[in-house]
Amino acid sequence: MKYKLLIEQDAFTPLGKDEIAEIKDVCRRRFGSAAYYPYMALYKTFNQIRPDGGRLKDWMPTDFFNRRVLPKINHDYRSISRIKTLSKRMFGSSSLPDIGYILGGRLFDAEMELVSPTQFISANRDNCGIVYIKADNTNSGHGVLRTELAALDEALIRKLNADCVIQSEIDQHAWFEDFSLGASATIRINTLFYKSIRARNVGAALRLPAGDDKFASADAQRVGIGVCDDAGSLDEFALDQDWRLTTFHPGSGLQFAGRAIPHYRDAVELCETLHSRLPNIGVIGWDVGIDKTGAPKVMEWNAHSPGLERAEMTVGPMFAGCGFEDTFR
């Protein structure tokens, strides 16, 4: 479906039979089956817009990575990231904007002290007016409620009927506001901690809301742009929610080429540091915001299904030389 959406656009040409045959042969040799060719075909097609014309690279198909690699390098620990109510206690970092928790129908503050909604609102009203309530065992923006702090009451807690983390809204850096005023942008930073001394960034992408939504959730209209280097330089090309190619933000009209994410290196170093505290897990995808002071804030982390597809296609290959192809043997 994604390949079809690409080749319907003037910028892309359908792959020929010989090209498909070559990709299938590569997949048989590298991954043990030609069945993994669709993602490789997708990556090669997208990269027709590059100066090299879309030559084959050492990309890793998303389905191969999820089926073969993730279970071996993230093990049974991969589901821990879905328990959002444990994240701040596990990493011990103030970079997570958690201010409270709903557990078993009860409300707790950031120190895990049982409080009433009135006490919670009173303690936090000077620091935030809007909160994000995120349920455990959800990801990609599903199970997220954006609401006013004052709306948090016993009725809402009963309605949620789930264990949740409550996060303050990030007052984001003005650079992101230029794209989408009042709408939260996220940087997806992917780190690898596998047979190395410490974790390292292997690829990143910026996700910007493109419609009326206030954050880049799975169902919201958004655009994704690859981050090309350690300076946070944006790729010239982006894809929107429907896989349409664009070189500018559909809301603001700002072009991506020539722009660099402020304080990007600080965000990368934070993710690498936090990942190095959790060597049990090989790959983590971090969703990071940058606040108005330039401080990075970790909104979510994902080790269950990190969502590496767009970064792999636009700024990858991310795992060349790691030997992950051998997991099928």
pLDDT in tens, 241-276: 899 999 999 989 999 999 999 999 999 999 999 999
- Extents of the domains making up the chain: 2-57, 98-168, 172-328
First and final C-alpha spacing in the chain: 29
pLDDT digits (tens, 9 = 90+) for 270-311: 999 999 999 999 999 999 999 999 999 999 999 998 888 989
Is residue 220 scored above 90 in pLDDT? no
Predicted local confidence at residue 289, as pLDDT: 96
Task: Report the chain's mean pLDDT, rounded to a whole number.
Answer: 93
Site of tokens 């100066």: 51
172-328 architecture in CATH?
2-Layer Sandwich (3.30)
pLDDT confidence of 214, banded at 50, 70, 90? Answer: low
Average pLDDT over residues 22-28: 97
The percentage of residues in the chain with a pLDDT greater than 70, rounded to a whole number, is 95
In this prediction, residue 28 carries a pLDDT of 96
What per-residue confidence (pLDDT) applies to 143?
Answer: 72
Which residue shows structure tokens 């809402």?
156
Whole-number pLDDT of residue 254: 95
User: Mean per-residue pLDDT for 128-141?
Assistant: 87
- Comparing 117 with 328, the larger pLDDT belongs to 117
Report the predicted TM-score, pTM, of the whole model to 2 decimal places. Answer: 0.93
